[in-house]
């Protein structure tokens, strides 16, 4: 189209996988795209192929973004950041992108002195310019020392390098109330890139917080026992009353919400008032088993993962599979794979069930159980059955199974590390409170991540010894009309001591391990100082590696197994206490890709 301006869109604006985004942008008439790095990292397309794809679609690659936290007051870190940049320049050359967005640093070691900052930017620009690339430096509104466009311009002006210019983003400038008039005085050739976004006027003041985001006690972050204690100490004798304004509860089934609310008061009163104590929560000692409903495809995968089929249920089509202390029951109901039941080892199963009932949980009729033994069980908010077991005791559930005598050498699985349970959108907070109050678990991690098909909030609950861990996730806005079946699956994470060895053995035995794109490993190599051989092993086996100062978390996932479940082998290094959420978007994109490939193959 002959116009006086060109249009572009950042891939982050659009839902889906990178190829969905490129196709949508081209079809809508955009001239170019900004490639948002996480979209490339999650994509199986090599950068050179993205370049060709864009060319075929008539799209230019106008920007690669973002490069974060370049400058540093610590010389070693700055040197590492330059090395990281060189890796990204490699990617840009393959992509055919000549400009990279460099954000002002938000890190503790960000450079405050404008001359030092200019010098570091000049050094980066010199390297970029030598390869025919350009640096567009942008002041983030929340940058540590550079958060206004005039300050970013002053740094660029002092650096005075032809390969260095500014990126201006309307959000960062207008959200701070800066006057854009001064931009007119900047030389046009120094304005390398322009990003546009509108926004509503928003202030999440305490009023908005109060009117939309309150929760029932035990679902949030307030110390409510610490609040209630002085009120009772003062002699208050009226009711404990809930006043909770919450957008989700406002539209939820009131009968369910009221049960959730009532449970919150029982738990709060118990935590504060000795007279209000309910039946105690017996200690949980680990995952007893996970029951998966399944068709015939699941058992071979368990075998390939080193599990032995150690038992066959006396009366039901249920198999018991074991490895280390990990036990998985396979209910060969023929239905698509899903987590049907969780079972925890309890110091006192009937006491635990008694407590759950006191907390308004629904007792599960016995016939629903996977076992003949009179296992105490209740229904969790998402419908999963929750069993309380004491394996090895008199009422042992294992007696319901006829031993097969089968054994397997195993691949090193030692236990169930955790179970991942995607929640219905309006039962997420309820689930957190349920597991806290019924099992005595405590919130162990909180997060949110931008998954390929929408934002996902996540929260893990665990016991203090980390013997029972549950990772809960929710897609608050996900409706999936345009891409059905991409909602977050459930999973069982299996603990191993050496994920590379375990994955190699599993693959040799035919386990359908999920392939992770090369772009992920290129990015991993740029980000972390890992030996090249190790990255090569990771790439070969599809190992995802995330780390923080506490340690690292390595995982290998299977494909989604004929339903909404996958299995993962996970290795924790050091004191890592997370749940793989950093890499979850990459894993979710890979799962979606496999699904499409399978559907394509069957079509």
Residues 446-485 that bind a second copy (CB under 8 A): 450, 453-455, 475-483
Q: Counting contacts by CB under 8 A, is residue 79 touching a second copy?
A: no
Name beta bridge partners: 286: 345
* 9: contact with a second copy by CB under 8 A: yes
Residue numbers 514-533 binding a second copy by CB under 8 A: none
Within residues 415-444, the interface with a second copy by CB under 8 A covers 425-426
* Minimal distance, residue 203 CB to a second copy, in Å: 7
- Is 245 or 548 the residue whose CB approaches a second copy more closely? 245
Closest CB to a second copy among residues 15, 414: 15
* Binding span for a second copy by CB under 8 A among 8-16, 501-509, 511-519, 528-536: 8-16
Tell which positions 257-276 bind a second copy, by CB under 8 A.
257-259, 261-262, 264-266, 268-269, 273, 275-276
Count how many Cα atoms sit within 13 Å of the Cα of residue 193 in the half-sphere of its side chain. Answer: 30
Per the document, the length of the chain is 603
What gap in Å lies between CA 301 and CA 313, rounded to an integer? 20
User: What are 64's two structure tokens?
Assistant: 């690669």
Q: Is 240 in the site for a second copy (CB under 8 A)?
A: yes
Nearer to a second copy, 135 or 288 (CB): 135
* Cis peptide upstream of residue 564 (ω within 30 degrees of 0): no
| Burial track 245-279 (b if 16+ CB lie within 10 A, e otherwise) | ebebbeebeeeebebbbebbbbbbbbbbeeeeebb
Residues 116-155 that bind a second copy (CB under 8 A): 141-142
| Residue 55 binds a second copy (CB under 8 A) | no
Nearer to a second copy, 275 or 532 (CB): 275
User: Omega into 66 within 30° of 0, i.e. cis?
Assistant: yes
Q: Least distance from C-beta 442 to a second copy, angstroms? A: 14
Least CB distance from residue 155 to a second copy, whole Å? 17
The CB-of-518 to a second copy minimum distance in angstroms stands at 24
The alpha helices in 381-445, defined as continuous H runs, are: 428-439
List 80, 82, 107, 244, residue binding a second copy (CB under 8 A): 244
Candidate ranges 113-121, 256-264, 338-346, 592-600; the one touching a second copy (CB under 8 A): 256-264
Q: Which residues of 410-441 are buried (b: 16+ CB within 10 A; e: fewer)?
A: bbbbebbbbbbbbbebbbbbbbbbbbbbbbbb
Pairing relationship of beta strands 164-169 and 469-474 according to DSSP bridges: unpaired
Give the residue, chosen from 75, 235, 409, 484, that forms a contact with a second copy under the rule CB under 8 A: 235
Helix axes 532-541, 518-527, angle to 10 degrees: 150
- Report the residue from 115, 160, 247, 374 that binds a second copy according to the rule CB under 8 A: 247
3-state secondary structure at position 556: strand
445 binds a second copy (CB under 8 A): no
User: What number of other Cβ atoms are within 10 A of residue 90's Cβ?
Assistant: 14
Where do the DSSP E strands lie in 394-475? 401-403, 413-422, 442-451, 454-462, 469-474
For the chain, how big is the Rg over CA atoms in Å?
27
Q: Assess 5 for contact with a second copy (CB under 8 A).
A: yes
* Residue 582 found at the interface with a second copy (CB under 8 A): no
Nearer to a second copy, 190 or 467 (CB): 190
Distance CA 367, CA 44 (A): 46
> How many residues in the shown chain lie near a second copy by CB under 8 A?
141
Pick the binder of a second copy from 7, 350, 414, 582 (CB under 8 A).
7
Q: Which of residues 299-338 bind a second copy (CB under 8 A)?
A: none
- If one asks whether residue 195 binds a second copy (CB under 8 A), the answer comes out as yes
**Does 602 help bind a second copy (rule: CB under 8 A)?**
no
Nearest to 323 by CA among 308, 312, 341, 311: 308
Interface with a second copy by CB under 8 A: which range of 190-198, 333-341, 363-371, 532-540? 190-198
**312 is an annotated ligand-binding site residue:** no
| The one segment of 11-19, 46-54, 323-331, 411-419 that binds a second copy by CB under 8 A | 11-19
Contact string 17-46 vs a second copy (x = CB under 8 A): ---xx-xxx-xxxxxx-x------------
Structure tokens at 184: 């007119």
Instruction: State the nearest-atom distance from the C-beta of 447 to a second copy, in Å.
Output: 12
* 21/13 Cα distance (integer angstroms): 9
Minimum CB separation of residue 181 from a second copy in Å reads 5
Nearer CB in complex with a second copy: 201/600:
201
How far is the CA of 314 from the CAs of 289, 299, 401, in angstroms?
18, 18, 6
- The label of the residue with tokens 């179970």 reads 419
Q: What is the DSSP letter of 416?
A: E
345, containing H or E segment: strand 338-346
Footprint of a second copy on residues 198-217 (CB under 8 A)? 198-210, 212-217
64 binds a second copy (CB under 8 A): no
Q: Minimal distance in Å, beta carbon 329 to a second copy?
A: 30
**Closest separation in Å from C-beta 85 to a second copy:** 21
CA distance 481 to 494: 33
User: Annotated binding residue at 169?
Assistant: yes
Residue 369 and residue 341: Cα distance in Å, rounded?
A: 8
112 binds a second copy (CB under 8 A): no
555 among the known binding-site residues?
Answer: no
Verify binding: residue 367, a second copy, rule CB under 8 A.
no
Per the structure block, which two tokens stand in for 537? 């092993």
Q: Is 364 in the site for a second copy (CB under 8 A)?
A: no
Closer residue to a second copy (CB): 258 or 596: 258
End-to-end CA distance of the chain: 37
Tokens of 578: 């997370």
Q: Is 195 within any annotated ligand binding site?
A: yes
- CA pair distance 472, 381, nearest whole angstrom: 12
Alpha carbon distances (Å) from 95 to 18, 329, 361: 13, 47, 55
Residues of each annotated binding site for a divalent metal cation:
138, 169, 195, 243
Residues of each annotated binding site:
138, 169, 195, 243
């Amino acid at each position: 189209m002959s116009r006086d301006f060109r249009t572009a869109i950042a891939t982050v604006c659009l839902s889906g996988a990178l190829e969905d985004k490129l196709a949508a942008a081209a079809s809508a008439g955009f001239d170019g795209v900004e490639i948002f790095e996480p979209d490339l990292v999650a994509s199986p397309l090599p950068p050179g192929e993205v370049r060709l794809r864009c060319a075929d679609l008539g799209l230019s690659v106008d920007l690669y973004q973002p490069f974060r936290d370049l400058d540093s007051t610590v010389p070693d870190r700055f040197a590492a950041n330059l090395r990281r940049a060189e890796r990204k320049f490699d990617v840009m050359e393959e992509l055919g992108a000549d400009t990279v967005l460099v954000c002002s640093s938000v890190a503790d070691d960000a450079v405050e002195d404008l001359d030092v900052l200019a010098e570091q930017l000049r050094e980066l620009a010199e390297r970029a310019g030598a390869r025919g690339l350009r640096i567009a430096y942008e002041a983030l509104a929340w940058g540590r020392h550079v958060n206004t466009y005039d300050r970013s311009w002053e740094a660029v002006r002092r650096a005075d390098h032809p390969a260095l210019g500014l990126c201006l983003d309307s959000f960062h400038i207008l959200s701070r109330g800066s006057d854009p008039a001064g931009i007119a005085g900047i030389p046009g050739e120094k304005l390398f890139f322009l990003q546009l976004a509108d926004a509503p006027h928003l202030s999440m003041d305490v009023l908005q917080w109060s009117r939309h985001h309150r929760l029932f006690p035990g679902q949030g972050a307030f110390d409510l026992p610490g609040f209630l204690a002085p009120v009772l100490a003062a002699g208050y004798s009226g009711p404990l009353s809930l006043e909770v304004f919450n957008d989700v509860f406002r539209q939820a089934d009131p009968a369910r919400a009221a049960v959730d609310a009532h449970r919150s008061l029982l738990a709060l009163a118990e935590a504060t008032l000795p007279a209000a104590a309910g039946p105690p929560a017996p200690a949980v000692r680990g995952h007893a088993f996970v029951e998966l409903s399944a068709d015939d495809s699941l058992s071979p995968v368990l075998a390939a993962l080193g599990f032995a089929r150690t038992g066959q249920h006396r009366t039901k089509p249920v198999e018991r599979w074991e490895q280390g202390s990990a036990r998985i029951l396979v209910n060969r109901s023929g239905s698509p794979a899903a987590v049907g039941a969780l079972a925890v080892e309890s110091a006192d199963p009937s006491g635990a069930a008694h407590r759950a009932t006191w907390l308004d949980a629904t007792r599960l009729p016995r016939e629903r159980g996977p076992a003949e033994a009179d296992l105490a069980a209740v229904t969790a908010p998402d419908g999963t059955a929750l069993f309380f077991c004491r394996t090895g005791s008199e009422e042992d559930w294992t007696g319901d199974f006829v031993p097969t005598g089968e054994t397997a050498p195993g691949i090193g699985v030692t236990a169930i590390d955790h179970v991942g349970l995607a929640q219905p959108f309006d039962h997420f907070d309820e689930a957190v409170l349920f597991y806290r109050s019924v099992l005595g678990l405590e919130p162990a991690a909180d997060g949110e991540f931008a998954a390929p098909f929408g934002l996902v909030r996540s929260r893990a609950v665990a016991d203090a010894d980390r013997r029972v861990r549950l990772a809960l996730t929710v897609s608050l806005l996900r409706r999936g009309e345009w891409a059905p079946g991409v909602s977050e699956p459930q999973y069982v994470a299996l603990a191993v001591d050496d994920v590379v060895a375990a994955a190699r053995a599993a693959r040799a035995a035919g386990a359908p391990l999920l392939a992770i794109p090369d772009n992920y490993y290129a990015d991993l190599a740029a980000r972390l100082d890992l030996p090249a051989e190790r990255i090569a092993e990771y790439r070969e086996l599809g190992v995802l590696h995330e780390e923080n100062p506490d340690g690292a978390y390595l995982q290998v996932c299977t494909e989604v197994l004929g339903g909404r479940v996958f299995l993962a082998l996970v290795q924790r290094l050091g004191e890592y206490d997370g749940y793989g959420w950093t890499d979850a978007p990459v894993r979710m994109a890979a799962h979606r890709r496999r699904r499409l490939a399978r559907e394509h193959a069957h079509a």
